[in-house]
Each structure stands twice: as C-alpha cells, then as structure tokens.
Amino acid sequence: MIYIYAKNFPIKKERKNYEQFICYNDYGIPREIKHIGTTIISKRNINAVIYYGNYHDERVRDIWNTIDQYNSQKKPFILISMNSPAVTNINCCLYVLGFDGDSDISGLSSIMLEGGEYLVVDYEGSREKLIETYTWIIKYYLSNKGLKYDYRVQFHEYDKMPDLGESNLSCRIHIPICHAYKITSLCC
C-alpha cells in the first residue's frame, strides 16, 4: 500500500495488483510486448492434434515433434489453449496444436478458426509474465482502445518450435476483438 499525506491526514492509495509485477516501457506497455496492433484475418483450416494431460509430461514434446514432422512447408505453429477450471485440473492442460493446412491430413484433426478482427501481440519474454501480460491486455488495453474480447477463440502463433525447457518464449498472440459501443441518451 502507498500512503499519500495531505494536511497531516493519511490517504490510502491502493496499488493495482498488476502494477507490482509488470515492467513497463516508456509508453506504459509491458516490456514483453514488442508490437501490438489489430488485423483482420481470414478463416483458417488448422491440421492439428488435441492434447490433454500434465504440463510436464514427455508427450508434450512428442506432440510438437509430430506436428513438426507433418508440417513439411514449415508454416507457423498454431496453439489454441482450451484450459478451463471446468474441464482441466490445476496440473493439466488442454490444447490444440497444429498448422495452417489447405487439405486434411490423415492422422490429424481438422479444426476451423473463424476469421475476423484480432488484436495481434508480438510477445517475447518469460513464460511466467505471459499471464500478467494477458491481464494487462484484457483489463486495460482493450477498454482504453474501445475494444472488447469477442466470442471466437484466441490462439498463439510460433514461427518455430519453442524449446520446451526454456523459461523464455517468443510468439504472436491473436485475441479476437470487436468494438465496444457506448450508448448515449438522447435529449429532447
């Protein structure tokens, strides 16, 4: 807590929870964000594997390697996190991992990503800061820009297979957005 004194009278100023963890650059953006902007993407067909299990299971690396072998054109990896307390327990994850595909591939699932407007964030930093960065984007950035989270799924794009043992990661985050409209009253 920060105390501000005015006329010998202590006034408490609550520190926002996110402020103590995120380091900002000169423009008030978390340092892990290298670029942020909006784009419109087309509907995408993803050839993918669906994984449910422990975060630290060796099968995670096997799935990435399997997708890498099928991805002969070396297109970016697409990861869709489906984690939810209603579906996954605290030590497990549920996600879809794949790549853009023009046709179905035997042995892989075919998943359709809806097109539309997305916030695109180039992220480069520690895995631990990713959640805090999401908090900043959803709670503060979107509302300050007149945007809101849309119903479509968010996804990450990786140009190359990340080193799963590394604490840092580099990816492009796609968050589905729409414009928030304010309703104003009409005066007579």
State how far the Cα of 130 lies from the Cα of 31, in Å rounded to an integer.
Answer: 11
Return the pLDDT at 74: 93
Angstrom distances, CA of residue 87 to CA of 25, 83, 92, 151, 179: 37, 7, 10, 18, 30
pLDDT mean across residues, the chain: 81
pTM score, whole prediction: 0.78
Q: What is the largest CA-CA distance in the chain?
A: 74
* Average of per-residue pLDDT across 80-96: 80
State how far the Cα of 156 lies from the Cα of 63, in Å rounded to an integer.
Answer: 16
> 120-141: b or e for each residue (b if 16 or more CB lie within 10 Å)?
bbebebeeebbebbeebbbeeb
Angstrom distances, CA of residue 95 to CA of 62, 84, 156: 14, 10, 11
**Is residue 67 within a helix (H) or strand (E), and if so which, with residue range?**
helix 58-70
pLDDT at position 18 over 50: no
Return the pLDDT at 2: 41
Q: Comparing 114 with 180, which gets the higher pLDDT?
A: 114
